[in-house]
Amino acid sequence: MSDKGMTTMAVKRINKNKVYSFIYHEGTTSKLQIVQKLQMGLSTVSQNLKILEEEGLLEKNGYFDSTGGRKARAIQIRRTARVSIGIGILKKMVHFVAVDLYGTVIFDSTLDIPYQTSRKYYRQLGQELEGFISGNVLDRSSILGVSIATQGIIAPDGQSVSYGVIMDNIQMKLSDFTEYITYPCRLEHDSKAAAYLELWNHKEIDSAVVFLLNRNMGGSIITNGLVHQGIHMHSGIIEHLCLTHDGPMCYCGSRGCLETYCSANALEQASGMGITPFFQKLRNGDSDCRQIWDSYLEHLAFAMRNLNIMIDGSIIISGYLAPFFLEEDVVTLLNQINSTSPFTLSRDQIILGTQGQYTPAVGAALHYVSEFLQNV
Protein backbone atom coordinates (compact mmCIF):
# COMPACT_ATOMS: atom_id res chain seq x y z
CA MET A 1 0.00 0.00 0.00
CA SER A 2 1.21 3.51 -0.78
CA ASP A 3 2.15 5.94 1.98
CA LYS A 4 -0.88 8.01 1.05
CA GLY A 5 -3.15 4.98 1.38
CA MET A 6 -1.69 4.20 4.81
CA THR A 7 -2.14 7.80 5.92
CA THR A 8 -5.77 7.90 4.77
CA MET A 9 -6.49 4.69 6.69
CA ALA A 10 -4.79 6.04 9.82
CA VAL A 11 -6.80 9.28 9.63
CA LYS A 12 -10.04 7.29 9.22
CA ARG A 13 -9.19 5.18 12.27
CA ILE A 14 -8.31 8.24 14.33
CA ASN A 15 -11.57 10.00 13.37
CA LYS A 16 -13.63 6.93 14.24
CA ASN A 17 -11.91 6.68 17.63
CA LYS A 18 -12.43 10.43 18.24
CA VAL A 19 -16.17 10.17 17.54
CA TYR A 20 -16.56 7.04 19.67
CA SER A 21 -14.51 8.48 22.56
CA PHE A 22 -16.50 11.72 22.48
CA ILE A 23 -19.82 9.86 22.76
CA TYR A 24 -18.35 7.57 25.43
CA HIS A 25 -17.25 10.48 27.63
CA GLU A 26 -20.36 12.61 27.04
CA GLY A 27 -22.69 9.72 27.91
CA THR A 28 -25.47 11.07 25.70
CA THR A 29 -24.96 13.41 22.78
CA SER A 30 -26.28 14.39 19.34
CA LYS A 31 -24.80 14.48 15.86
CA LEU A 32 -24.72 18.28 15.90
CA GLN A 33 -22.90 18.36 19.25
CA ILE A 34 -20.25 15.98 17.89
CA VAL A 35 -19.75 18.18 14.82
CA GLN A 36 -19.45 21.31 16.94
CA LYS A 37 -17.29 19.96 19.78
CA LEU A 38 -14.91 17.95 17.59
CA GLN A 39 -14.90 20.58 14.85
CA MET A 40 -15.33 17.81 12.35
CA GLY A 41 -17.26 18.00 9.06
CA LEU A 42 -20.88 16.85 9.11
CA SER A 43 -20.27 14.21 6.43
CA THR A 44 -17.26 12.77 8.31
CA VAL A 45 -19.28 12.55 11.53
CA SER A 46 -22.27 10.98 9.70
CA GLN A 47 -20.01 8.44 8.04
CA ASN A 48 -18.37 7.43 11.34
CA LEU A 49 -21.70 7.20 13.14
CA LYS A 50 -22.91 4.90 10.37
CA ILE A 51 -19.82 2.66 10.71
CA LEU A 52 -20.08 2.54 14.51
CA GLU A 53 -23.78 1.76 14.32
CA GLU A 54 -23.21 -1.01 11.79
CA GLU A 55 -20.63 -2.50 14.15
CA GLY A 56 -23.29 -2.51 16.87
CA LEU A 57 -21.33 -0.10 19.07
CA LEU A 58 -23.92 2.69 19.26
CA GLU A 59 -27.53 3.01 20.17
CA LYS A 60 -29.99 5.81 19.58
CA ASN A 61 -32.36 6.26 22.48
CA GLY A 62 -34.98 9.00 22.32
CA TYR A 63 -34.67 12.61 21.27
CA PHE A 64 -33.35 15.84 22.74
CA ASP A 65 -35.92 18.55 23.48
CA SER A 66 -36.43 20.55 20.32
CA THR A 67 -35.18 24.13 20.21
CA GLY A 68 -37.07 24.67 16.98
CA GLY A 69 -36.87 22.52 13.89
CA ARG A 70 -36.35 18.75 13.91
CA LYS A 71 -35.64 17.06 17.23
CA ALA A 72 -32.09 15.68 17.52
CA ARG A 73 -31.60 11.94 18.12
CA ALA A 74 -29.90 11.09 21.42
CA ILE A 75 -26.80 8.97 20.73
CA GLN A 76 -25.08 6.71 23.27
CA ILE A 77 -22.52 3.96 23.11
CA ARG A 78 -23.96 0.47 23.55
CA ARG A 79 -22.30 -0.29 26.86
CA THR A 80 -22.70 -4.06 26.60
CA ALA A 81 -21.53 -4.25 22.98
CA ARG A 82 -18.37 -5.75 24.47
CA VAL A 83 -17.84 -7.24 27.91
CA SER A 84 -14.74 -8.29 29.77
CA ILE A 85 -14.59 -11.11 32.27
CA GLY A 86 -12.51 -11.04 35.44
CA ILE A 87 -11.71 -14.08 37.56
CA GLY A 88 -10.40 -13.76 41.10
CA ILE A 89 -8.62 -16.91 42.24
CA LEU A 90 -8.33 -17.45 45.97
CA LYS A 91 -7.20 -20.37 48.08
CA LYS A 92 -10.73 -21.52 48.89
CA MET A 93 -12.94 -19.83 46.30
CA VAL A 94 -13.26 -18.26 42.88
CA HIS A 95 -14.96 -14.99 41.92
CA PHE A 96 -16.34 -14.35 38.44
CA VAL A 97 -17.39 -10.91 37.20
CA ALA A 98 -18.50 -9.54 33.83
CA VAL A 99 -18.01 -5.80 33.31
CA ASP A 100 -19.42 -3.58 30.57
CA LEU A 101 -17.59 -0.87 28.61
CA TYR A 102 -18.01 1.63 31.45
CA GLY A 103 -16.39 -0.84 33.86
CA THR A 104 -19.68 -1.50 35.65
CA VAL A 105 -20.18 -5.01 36.99
CA ILE A 106 -23.17 -6.53 35.20
CA PHE A 107 -22.87 -10.05 36.62
CA ASP A 108 -20.92 -11.60 39.50
CA SER A 109 -20.67 -14.99 41.10
CA THR A 110 -18.68 -16.70 43.87
CA LEU A 111 -17.93 -20.42 43.82
CA ASP A 112 -16.40 -22.53 46.57
CA ILE A 113 -13.70 -24.21 44.52
CA PRO A 114 -10.46 -24.69 46.49
CA TYR A 115 -7.32 -24.04 44.49
CA GLN A 116 -5.16 -27.01 43.59
CA THR A 117 -2.32 -27.46 41.15
CA SER A 118 -4.00 -29.99 38.90
CA ARG A 119 -5.50 -30.25 35.43
CA LYS A 120 -8.75 -31.24 37.11
CA TYR A 121 -8.89 -27.81 38.75
CA TYR A 122 -8.21 -25.89 35.55
CA ARG A 123 -10.72 -28.01 33.63
CA GLN A 124 -13.37 -27.34 36.27
CA LEU A 125 -12.59 -23.62 36.17
CA GLY A 126 -13.02 -23.61 32.38
CA GLN A 127 -16.37 -25.41 32.72
CA GLU A 128 -17.59 -23.04 35.45
CA LEU A 129 -16.61 -20.07 33.29
CA GLU A 130 -18.67 -21.46 30.40
CA GLY A 131 -21.55 -21.93 32.87
CA PHE A 132 -21.18 -18.30 34.02
CA ILE A 133 -21.25 -17.08 30.40
CA SER A 134 -24.23 -19.16 29.30
CA GLY A 135 -26.10 -18.72 32.63
CA ASN A 136 -26.02 -14.96 32.16
CA VAL A 137 -26.78 -15.21 28.45
CA LEU A 138 -23.62 -13.35 27.45
CA ASP A 139 -23.00 -13.19 23.72
CA ARG A 140 -19.73 -15.11 23.23
CA SER A 141 -18.66 -12.86 20.34
CA SER A 142 -18.88 -9.82 22.63
CA ILE A 143 -16.33 -11.17 25.13
CA LEU A 144 -13.08 -9.23 24.88
CA GLY A 145 -11.12 -11.56 27.10
CA VAL A 146 -10.72 -13.24 30.45
CA SER A 147 -8.36 -11.62 32.94
CA ILE A 148 -7.32 -13.72 35.90
CA ALA A 149 -6.28 -12.12 39.20
CA THR A 150 -4.42 -14.38 41.57
CA GLN A 151 -2.56 -14.10 44.84
CA GLY A 152 1.07 -14.28 43.88
CA ILE A 153 3.55 -12.20 41.96
CA ILE A 154 3.44 -12.59 38.20
CA ALA A 155 6.69 -13.00 36.27
CA PRO A 156 7.60 -9.99 34.06
CA ASP A 157 6.61 -11.91 30.90
CA GLY A 158 3.08 -12.48 32.30
CA GLN A 159 3.24 -16.22 31.66
CA SER A 160 3.60 -17.60 35.18
CA VAL A 161 3.58 -16.93 38.92
CA SER A 162 7.05 -16.20 40.31
CA TYR A 163 6.16 -16.00 44.03
CA GLY A 164 3.11 -17.74 45.43
CA VAL A 165 3.49 -18.91 49.01
CA ILE A 166 -0.12 -18.40 50.21
CA MET A 167 -1.74 -20.55 47.55
CA ASP A 168 1.33 -22.64 46.85
CA ASN A 169 0.81 -21.69 43.22
CA ILE A 170 4.41 -21.13 42.20
CA GLN A 171 3.78 -23.62 39.38
CA MET A 172 0.75 -21.71 38.05
CA LYS A 173 1.13 -20.86 34.36
CA LEU A 174 -1.07 -18.92 31.98
CA SER A 175 -1.03 -21.98 29.70
CA ASP A 176 -2.76 -24.02 32.47
CA PHE A 177 -5.78 -21.74 32.04
CA THR A 178 -5.68 -21.32 28.27
CA GLU A 179 -5.91 -25.08 27.84
CA TYR A 180 -9.54 -24.82 28.98
CA ILE A 181 -10.40 -21.16 28.25
CA THR A 182 -10.79 -20.29 24.60
CA TYR A 183 -10.89 -16.49 24.95
CA PRO A 184 -7.88 -14.14 25.07
CA CYS A 185 -6.47 -14.65 28.54
CA ARG A 186 -4.00 -13.02 30.89
CA LEU A 187 -2.69 -13.32 34.45
CA GLU A 188 -2.56 -10.46 36.95
CA HIS A 189 -1.33 -10.10 40.52
CA ASP A 190 -4.47 -9.41 42.60
CA SER A 191 -2.96 -6.39 44.39
CA LYS A 192 -2.04 -4.72 41.10
CA ALA A 193 -5.52 -5.49 39.72
CA ALA A 194 -7.02 -3.72 42.75
CA ALA A 195 -4.89 -0.66 41.99
CA TYR A 196 -6.14 -0.64 38.36
CA LEU A 197 -9.72 -0.56 39.63
CA GLU A 198 -9.01 2.33 42.00
CA LEU A 199 -7.23 4.24 39.23
CA TRP A 200 -10.19 3.63 36.93
CA ASN A 201 -12.56 5.03 39.56
CA HIS A 202 -10.28 7.95 40.48
CA LYS A 203 -8.62 9.12 37.28
CA GLU A 204 -7.35 12.26 39.02
CA ILE A 205 -4.95 10.25 41.23
CA ASP A 206 -1.25 10.91 40.66
CA SER A 207 0.23 9.09 43.66
CA ALA A 208 -1.27 6.67 46.14
CA VAL A 209 -0.74 3.62 48.30
CA VAL A 210 -3.42 0.95 47.94
CA PHE A 211 -4.19 -1.18 51.01
CA LEU A 212 -5.91 -4.30 49.71
CA LEU A 213 -7.61 -5.60 52.85
CA ASN A 214 -8.51 -9.08 51.63
CA ARG A 215 -8.41 -12.38 53.49
CA ASN A 216 -4.69 -12.09 52.93
CA MET A 217 -3.47 -8.52 52.67
CA GLY A 218 -2.04 -6.97 49.55
CA GLY A 219 -0.90 -3.59 48.42
CA SER A 220 0.37 -1.50 45.55
CA ILE A 221 2.01 1.81 44.88
CA ILE A 222 0.72 4.30 42.31
CA THR A 223 3.05 7.01 41.03
CA ASN A 224 2.53 9.33 38.04
CA GLY A 225 -0.91 7.76 37.60
CA LEU A 226 0.60 4.32 36.99
CA VAL A 227 0.90 1.17 39.08
CA HIS A 228 4.54 0.76 40.06
CA GLN A 229 5.81 -2.70 39.08
CA GLY A 230 9.49 -2.83 40.07
CA ILE A 231 12.35 -4.86 38.60
CA HIS A 232 10.98 -8.15 39.96
CA MET A 233 7.31 -7.04 39.91
CA HIS A 234 7.07 -6.90 43.71
CA SER A 235 6.81 -3.16 44.32
CA GLY A 236 4.15 -2.28 46.85
CA ILE A 237 4.02 -5.60 48.70
CA ILE A 238 3.21 -3.68 51.86
CA GLU A 239 1.75 -6.74 53.60
CA HIS A 240 5.32 -7.75 54.47
CA LEU A 241 6.31 -4.44 56.02
CA CYS A 242 7.70 -5.34 59.41
CA LEU A 243 5.81 -3.67 62.27
CA THR A 244 7.44 -5.59 65.14
CA HIS A 245 10.43 -7.88 64.64
CA ASP A 246 9.24 -10.29 67.38
CA GLY A 247 5.54 -10.20 66.40
CA PRO A 248 3.37 -13.07 65.14
CA MET A 249 4.78 -15.43 62.50
CA CYS A 250 3.86 -14.55 58.89
CA TYR A 251 3.49 -17.10 56.09
CA CYS A 252 6.53 -15.49 54.44
CA GLY A 253 8.74 -16.82 57.24
CA SER A 254 9.28 -13.48 59.01
CA ARG A 255 7.65 -12.14 62.16
CA GLY A 256 5.45 -9.12 62.74
CA CYS A 257 4.51 -8.38 59.11
CA LEU A 258 1.52 -6.08 58.50
CA GLU A 259 -0.27 -9.20 57.16
CA THR A 260 -0.33 -10.67 60.67
CA TYR A 261 -2.16 -7.59 62.03
CA CYS A 262 -4.29 -6.18 59.24
CA SER A 263 -5.42 -8.98 56.90
CA ALA A 264 -9.05 -10.12 57.19
CA ASN A 265 -7.65 -13.50 58.31
CA ALA A 266 -5.80 -11.79 61.19
CA LEU A 267 -9.02 -10.04 62.24
CA GLU A 268 -10.89 -13.36 62.14
CA GLN A 269 -8.18 -15.04 64.19
CA ALA A 270 -8.11 -12.27 66.79
CA SER A 271 -11.90 -12.29 67.19
CA GLY A 272 -12.53 -16.01 66.72
CA MET A 273 -15.42 -15.29 64.34
CA GLY A 274 -16.19 -14.53 60.71
CA ILE A 275 -15.92 -11.02 59.30
CA THR A 276 -19.67 -10.33 58.93
CA PRO A 277 -20.61 -11.39 62.50
CA PHE A 278 -17.56 -9.52 63.81
CA PHE A 279 -18.72 -6.23 62.30
CA GLN A 280 -22.31 -6.83 63.40
CA LYS A 281 -21.17 -7.25 67.01
CA LEU A 282 -18.76 -4.33 66.75
CA ARG A 283 -21.43 -1.96 65.46
CA ASN A 284 -23.82 -3.18 68.18
CA GLY A 285 -21.35 -1.97 70.79
CA ASP A 286 -19.58 -5.22 71.82
CA SER A 287 -16.58 -4.18 73.94
CA ASP A 288 -14.32 -7.15 73.05
CA CYS A 289 -14.85 -6.49 69.33
CA ARG A 290 -14.22 -2.79 69.96
CA GLN A 291 -10.88 -3.55 71.56
CA ILE A 292 -9.84 -5.81 68.67
CA TRP A 293 -10.95 -3.24 66.09
CA ASP A 294 -9.12 -0.40 67.88
CA SER A 295 -5.94 -2.46 67.86
CA TYR A 296 -6.49 -3.26 64.16
CA LEU A 297 -6.91 0.43 63.28
CA GLU A 298 -3.85 1.35 65.35
CA HIS A 299 -1.62 -1.01 63.36
CA LEU A 300 -3.17 0.10 60.08
CA ALA A 301 -2.64 3.78 60.93
CA PHE A 302 0.99 3.07 61.87
CA ALA A 303 1.64 1.55 58.42
CA MET A 304 -0.31 4.31 56.65
CA ARG A 305 1.66 6.99 58.48
CA ASN A 306 4.99 5.46 57.45
CA LEU A 307 3.94 4.82 53.86
CA ASN A 308 2.63 8.35 53.47
CA ILE A 309 6.12 9.56 54.44
CA MET A 310 7.40 7.60 51.42
CA ILE A 311 4.55 8.31 48.97
CA ASP A 312 3.05 11.76 49.30
CA GLY A 313 -0.41 11.00 47.94
CA SER A 314 -3.72 9.33 48.65
CA ILE A 315 -4.32 6.28 50.80
CA ILE A 316 -6.82 3.88 49.28
CA ILE A 317 -8.55 1.31 51.48
CA SER A 318 -9.64 -1.41 49.07
CA GLY A 319 -10.82 -5.01 48.93
CA TYR A 320 -12.94 -7.26 51.13
CA LEU A 321 -12.92 -5.16 54.32
CA ALA A 322 -13.30 -1.71 52.68
CA PRO A 323 -17.14 -1.69 52.61
CA PHE A 324 -17.17 -2.44 56.37
CA PHE A 325 -15.34 0.82 57.19
CA LEU A 326 -17.46 3.67 58.54
CA GLU A 327 -16.63 7.36 58.46
CA GLU A 328 -15.76 7.19 62.18
CA ASP A 329 -13.08 4.57 61.38
CA VAL A 330 -11.56 6.80 58.71
CA VAL A 331 -11.53 9.73 61.16
CA THR A 332 -9.79 7.51 63.76
CA LEU A 333 -7.14 6.55 61.20
CA LEU A 334 -6.68 10.17 60.17
CA ASN A 335 -6.27 11.38 63.76
CA GLN A 336 -3.74 8.66 64.55
CA ILE A 337 -1.73 9.32 61.39
CA ASN A 338 -1.70 13.07 61.93
CA SER A 339 -0.79 12.83 65.63
CA THR A 340 2.66 11.44 64.76
CA SER A 341 3.38 12.51 61.18
CA PRO A 342 5.27 15.72 60.36
CA PHE A 343 2.92 16.20 57.38
CA THR A 344 -0.84 16.54 57.74
CA LEU A 345 -3.02 14.17 55.76
CA SER A 346 -6.40 15.62 54.78
CA ARG A 347 -9.69 13.69 54.87
CA ASP A 348 -10.01 13.67 51.09
CA GLN A 349 -6.67 11.83 50.85
CA ILE A 350 -8.23 8.69 52.34
CA ILE A 351 -10.40 6.91 49.77
CA LEU A 352 -12.65 3.91 50.45
CA GLY A 353 -12.99 1.30 47.70
CA THR A 354 -16.47 0.04 46.89
CA GLN A 355 -16.21 -3.38 45.20
CA GLY A 356 -15.37 -5.45 48.29
CA GLN A 357 -14.25 -9.01 47.63
CA TYR A 358 -14.72 -8.62 43.85
CA THR A 359 -12.07 -5.84 43.67
CA PRO A 360 -9.23 -7.91 42.08
CA ALA A 361 -11.53 -9.60 39.55
CA VAL A 362 -13.07 -6.27 38.47
CA GLY A 363 -9.69 -4.54 38.29
CA ALA A 364 -8.27 -7.36 36.19
CA ALA A 365 -11.26 -7.27 33.82
CA LEU A 366 -10.73 -3.56 33.15
CA HIS A 367 -7.55 -4.37 31.23
CA TYR A 368 -9.46 -5.61 28.18
CA VAL A 369 -11.94 -2.71 28.40
CA SER A 370 -9.11 -0.13 28.35
CA GLU A 371 -7.46 -1.92 25.46
CA PHE A 372 -10.73 -1.92 23.49
CA LEU A 373 -11.44 1.77 24.16
CA GLN A 374 -7.97 2.74 22.94
CA ASN A 375 -8.24 0.75 19.74
CA VAL A 376 -11.90 1.04 18.73
Q: Which residues bind Zn ion (CB under 5 A)?
A: 240, 250, 252, 254, 257
CB of 170 to Zn ion, least distance (A): 16
CA distance 102 to 140: 19
The nearer residue to Zn ion, 258 or 362, going by C-beta atoms, is: 258
Q: Which of 84, 99, 185, 188 has the alpha carbon at shortest distance from 144?
A: 84
Q: Is 114 exposed, middle or buried (0-12, 13-18, 19+ CB in 10 A)?
A: exposed
CB of 91 to Zn ion, least distance (A): 16
Q: Are strands 314-318 and 105-111 parallel, antiparallel or unpaired?
A: unpaired
CB of 251 to Zn ion, least distance (A): 7
Q: Are strands 83-89 and 73-77 parallel, antiparallel or unpaired?
A: unpaired
> Following CA atoms 97, 98, 100, 105 in sequence, which dihedral angle do they give, to the nearest 10 degrees?
-30
The nearer residue to Zn ion, 45 or 250, going by C-beta atoms, is: 250
Residue 346, CA distances (Å) to 132, 222, 224 in order: 42, 18, 20
CB of 250 to Zn ion, least distance (A): 3
The nearer residue to Zn ion, 150 or 216, going by C-beta atoms, is: 216
The nearer residue to Zn ion, 215 or 240, going by C-beta atoms, is: 240
Contact indicator for 271, 287 with CB cutoff of 8 Å: no
CB of 252 to Zn ion, least distance (A): 3
Q: Which of 45, 41, 1 has the alpha carbon at shortest distance from 19?
A: 45
CB of 95 to Zn ion, least distance (A): 24
> Following CA atoms 40, 43, 45, 47 in sequence, which dihedral angle do they give, to the nearest 10 degrees?
-150
The nearer residue to Zn ion, 266 or 361, going by C-beta atoms, is: 266
CB atoms under 10 Å from CB of 213, counted, come to 28
Q: Spell out the residues 6+ positions from residue 140 whose beta carbon is closer than 8 angstroms to its own.
A: 133
Contact indicator for 19, 45 with CB cutoff of 8 Å: yes
The nearer residue to Zn ion, 257 or 362, going by C-beta atoms, is: 257
Q: Spell out the residues 6+ positions from residue 72 whose beta carbon is closer than 8 angstroms to its own.
A: 30, 31, 32, 63, 64, 66
The nearer residue to Zn ion, 155 or 252, going by C-beta atoms, is: 252
Contact indicator for 146, 129 with CB cutoff of 8 Å: yes
Q: What are the two backbone dihedrals, phi and then psi, of residue 283, each rounded to the nearest 5 degrees?
A: -70, -20
Give the 3-state secondary structure of residue 19: helix
CB of 236 to Zn ion, least distance (A): 14
The nearer residue to Zn ion, 44 or 260, going by C-beta atoms, is: 260
CB of 150 to Zn ion, least distance (A): 18
The nearer residue to Zn ion, 47 or 254, going by C-beta atoms, is: 254
CB of 257 to Zn ion, least distance (A): 3
CB of 240 to Zn ion, least distance (A): 4
The nearer residue to Zn ion, 14 or 249, going by C-beta atoms, is: 249
